[in-house]
Structure 1
Amino acid sequence: MRDAKLLNTLEIDIDAIRTDGRLRPFSETAVTSLIASIKEIGLQSEIHVRKVAHQDGILRLIAGGHRIEAFRRMKRQKIPCKVWDCTDDWAMLAEIDDNLAHTDLNPLDLAVFLAERKAVYERMYPETRAVSGAALAAKRWDATDNMAVASFVTSTADKMNQSERTIRRLVSAGQALDPEAISMLRSAPHRVTLADLQALAKCAPDDRPVICRELSLGKAKSAKEVLDRRKQPGTAAVDPVDKAHRKLYEAYARAPKDARRRFVRDFSEELQSFLAERVEAAGAVPFKARGRK
């Protein structure tokens, strides 16, 4: 791929590598398995990091989150790294492809990664976006497909024993989910299935946050169960909280960055209070307590 240059290969202190902002949290099972493998046969490949010029040259992880976590738990201070000079989009695409190639992803994470890969790839290679009208018909392209996902659609369909149409639906599902919805679905006690994701992709926008919340709380085992319940007599009315949330979300998503900053400044005290409540409920360590690295 273009837009990247390998600068060096060397051992780096793991505390010097920023690992926040990843698309997917690490798997406890995968880390445990990797620790056993490293103890038996050693680390088989370097992790990949990048120098971020516009952030004072800090090192940020591209690929190898499970390997860093394994080294951290084994009390190893340094880890072999390939250091890259690359664009933000190249780094994101590399992170996605590393997960797609080396991780047995569940349907939810696969949908998220596929949707993000499509968006990043089309930014990097705008010429691969699907054309329309007569040109589309002449090329005999599927109107829902394009080169940004076509090659991976085929290989992923074979791996999952699913049709290419199903993989395209995964992309659609990933595109329909915002970060809050993804977080809720990942916390669901019952595994989110392909059928759930397809229902989320097709349902009305007002139904989506309700489905995600019900699944995350274990109040429903499937998206279909939630939708069927909402269709029953007396349950058709939209929850006013859901309606207000959707309006806030859409307004914030559409607003320019300067307007978002002003909003956060105006409501900073209340927002900090909400964030503190969420951290406490999750049993997580507040960011300030961990310090910057």
Structure 2
Amino acid sequence: MTPTLMQIDKVPVAEVIVRDRLRPVSEAGVESLIASITEIGVMKDAIHVRKKKDGQLYLMAGGHRLEAARRLNWVHVPAKVWTDVTDDWARMVEIDDNLAGAEMNALDSAVFLATRKAVYERLHPETKRGVAGAVARWDATEPSAVAFVKATAEKFGLKERQVYKIVAAGTALSPRDVAHLRQAPRPVSLKDLTEIAKIGDPVERGDVVLRLSVGNAKSAADARRSLRVEGGLQTPVKSPEDQALLALISAWARAGKAVRRRFIDQEFGEVAPLVADEADARDPALATAIRRGMAAK
């Protein structure tokens, strides 16, 4: 079955059905479109809809455009109407429309590219290694991965290495994970998603996602560390001051006596007042001697 462009005209806004989208429309995106339409007087790009055999119209691409038309109280919206469309083809239209033209954050990019890989393999079965009852391994040696990454990198102007990382991150996320991460007060980064993708234990992955979603961790790495500390698998992370002290003590211990003398001689003006202040609390006579030495210097 080959998709057919039935008409390029307009369709009633109220008749377009929106269902099972990969991401919700963003308020900022809709407001930006409304401002553009108000300024130039037209909607620059038509939406794409799928007309099924029962005559109903389903949105394939243009969620923000359709929502803008609704808020502007348009009766009709410019549209390209397609027939003889498969579910996979419709999903690919949605994905490519967003990847090519929408403002995408790291989470959206991961979800869309991971989905695109799955759809690509179904549309191009010749690119996938035959594995009875199993999912092909996602790495640089898998034929389907190589074919998809090359095609995707060329289509969207990405480096192949970027595509591998983004897809690996998106593939590791369940729909529930994605829903939680969309609620995170701090937008998750590709680094966060890559860290999540490394987690093999689904319970740990869910805990990390939950902590990010409610703002209890600054990053996925921080969330993993806090979980290990709470589980007694890792000692608490020390403050920057504690870490600096440990580094200084370690360096002093490694230095020989001659190096220590050179250090004291070079940094005497900095070190002596600190030592004298401490000596006041321990031995006033020692403090007096130190201050005499400071005066002599």
Give your verdict on TM over 0.5.
yes
2:69 to 32, 57, 71: 71
Letter of the structure 2 residue corresponding to residue 192 of structure 1: V
Alignment of 1:270-289 (within 5 A): none
CA distance in 2, matches of 1:121, 1:155: 13
Corresponding position: 1:226 with 2:205:
no
TM score, norm. by length of structure 2: 0.70
Between 1 and 2, higher relative CO (CA 8 Å, sep ≥ 6) is seen in 1
AA aligned to 2:28 is T
> How many residues of Structure 1 are paired with residues of Structure 2 in the alignment?
221
Contact 2:106/2:188, CA 8 A, preserved across alignment? yes
Residue in 2 that maps onto 1:107: 106
Deviation per CA, 1:26-79: give whole Å up to 9, x if none: 1111111111111122111211100123xx231100111111111111111111
Aligned to 1:90: 89
- Report the CA distance shift for 1:233/1:187 in structure 2 as closer, same or farther (over 3 A): closer
| Aligned position for 2:181 | 185
Q: Provide the TM-score with structure 1 as the length reference.
A: 0.71
Residue pair 2:149, 2:163 contacting (<8 A) in 1 also: no
C-alpha distance in structure 2 between counterparts of 1:224 and 1:61, whole Å: 38
1:207 and 1:33 map into 2 onto residues whose CA distance is 39
> Using a 3 Å threshold, how does the CA distance of structure 1 residues 235 and 217 change in structure 2: closer, same or farther?
farther
Q: 5 Å matches for 1:111-130?
A: 111-129=110-128
Please state how far the C-alpha of 1:101 moved relative to its aligned partner: 0.3
1:3 is aligned with what amino acid? T
Does the alignment pair 1:51 with 2:51? Answer: yes
Partner SS for 1:146: helix
Q: Distance in 1 between matches of 2:192 and 2:44?
A: 37
Q: 1:83 is matched by which residue type in structure 2?
A: V
Q: What runs of 5+ residues in structure 2 fail to find an aligned partner?
A: 132-138, 234-297
Match of 2:18 in 1: 19
Tell me how far 1:192 sits from its aligned partner: 0.2
Report the aligned-residue RMSD.
2.0
Q: Distance in 2 between matches of 1:234 and 1:121?
A: 41
1:284 equivalent in structure 2: none
- What letter is aligned with 2:152? F
Go from structure 1 to structure 2 and tell me whether the alpha carbon gap of 1:60 and 1:235 turns closer, same or farther (over 3 Å shift).
Answer: farther
Distance 1:58 1:51, change over 3 A: same
AA at the equivalent of 1:47: I
Query: What stretches of structure 1 of length at least 5 have no aligned partner?
Result: 133-140, 237-293
Letter paired with 1:122 = E
Structure 1 pair 178/3, CA: closer, same or farther in 2 (3 Å)? farther
- Is 1:200 matched up with 2:196? yes
Q: Which amino acid aligns with 2:122?
A: R
| Matched-pair contact (CA < 8 Å) for 1:130–1:143 | no
C-alpha distance in 1, partners of 2:224/2:157? Answer: 28
How far apart, CA to CA, are the structure 2 residues paired with 1:148 and 1:167?
Answer: 9
Q: 2: distance between equivalents of 1:152 and 1:183? A: 25
Alpha carbons of 1:231 and 1:122: their partners in 2 closer, same or farther (altered >3 Å)?
same
CA distance in 2, matches of 1:130, 1:146: 11
